[in-house]
Chain A
Amino acid sequence: MFGPFRASNPLFGGLVWKIPWRLSPPQKYRHRKRLQRVDEVIDTLESALKKQGESIAAIERWRHEMPTEAEMEARDKYTMFDRKSKTYRKGVHKTPKWTRISQRLNPPGF
């Protein structure tokens, strides 16, 4: 029951990492800040290139496809499509490296 060889979940089954089901409010706040930071990077790139009369396809495509943080709906911000779950949604924090990737779009209708 006690000691180094006690029978607990992590010791028995190996690695048990528990990711909470929902994001906490501070996590959501920091996630919004990260989204805004990416938006800012793109704004500065676009305005700097515009002064030189240039533009690049990657930025134009981003502008065409991706919503900004303010334009995003809450469900797209904090959850994402998951084909295996009952509601077809899971928390965005279940994605690997979710703090360093851009996950803004989901399949239409889901």
Chain B
Amino acid sequence: MQYFKITLIRSGIGMTGRQNKVLQSLGLRKRMSIVYHPVSPEVAGKIMKVKELVTVAETDKLETKKEIQESRRPPKGFVVEKKVLGGSV
């Protein structure tokens, strides 16, 4: 099944009540939040109402909240080459 991956890039603050209600109905509350909706004319119509505020991608698999968080985690800055067994070196 195909999904729209919708990311809120620009805040809806100060936009029309109608656009903010559409964002609410899509489940977009904060900037950079991601929601998935199945590809359908209804959802496409909603996205058209807020097209200046969001980016859209088409995908076939859903991401959990944890996976989204993991993909956003910055690199740790080090690489573990070899683990020493037995604790203290």
Partner of B52 from A51, A59, A102 at Cβ < 8 Å: A102
Say if the beta carbon of A74 comes within 8 Å of chain B. Answer: no
Shortest CB distance A82–B (Å): 21
Summarize A's interface: helix, strand, loop or mixed.
helix
Q: How many B residues, CB 8 Å from partner?
A: 21
Q: Is the CB of A99 within 8 A of B10?
A: yes
Interface size class of A (residues with CB under 8 A): 20 to 34
Q: Please give, as numbers and ranges, the residues of chain B lying within 8 Å of A54 by CB-CB distance.
A: 40-41, 44
Bound-state Cα–Cα, A59 to B39, Å: 14
Interface residues of B (CB under 8 A from A): 2, 4, 9-10, 14-15, 39-41, 44-45, 47-48, 51-58
Interface residues of A (CB under 8 A from B): 34, 37-38, 40-42, 44-45, 47-49, 51-52, 54-56, 58-59, 62, 97, 99-102
Contacts A/B (CB < 8 Å), 10 sampled:
A34-B52, A38-B51, A41-B47, A44-B57, A44-B58, A45-B48, A45-B56, A51-B39, A58-B44, A97-B15
